[in-house]
Structure 1
């Protein structure tokens, strides 16, 4: 069976979760700041939901990440997979 194609959501979700955990920020704190449920944040991080650009930028601000770097990682991952 061929490997699953890496999507932008996969790359960004994993990276955002990694940064959040490294900075000791809970999903509950993210959810409260974004005015949503902790379950929604969990679903994003497990690639069961998608974030729009506005949500990605807001999430990045909360965890102290640069949205451009998150998107650049996706682009780098895509170029390696080709």
Structure 2
């Protein structure tokens, strides 16, 4: 009996951890590394050189700026481009 209890507790701990891992939300609309390389690897060597990395960073920056504009348009009631205390 003394050995069964720790074994059962360990079993449920492992199962609980596995279920919690499955419940983590996935980031949506985020490209995989392979997708990024396929999109920005201009010379086709399977790696991103400095120029290709810069292009990928600029594209990511443009996406972030567009999302910020959309987010501000949704919540910035007075249209000043800044969220004040009432808008937060």
* TM bin (shorter chain): under 0.3
Which of the pair is proportionally richer in helix? 1
Report which of the two structures shows the higher radius of gyration computed on alpha carbons: 2
Q: TM-score, normalised by structure 2?
A: 0.26
Kindly indicate whether structure 1 or structure 2 has the higher relative contact order, using CA contacts under 8 Å at least 6 residues apart. Answer: 1
Q: TM-score, normalised by structure 1?
A: 0.27
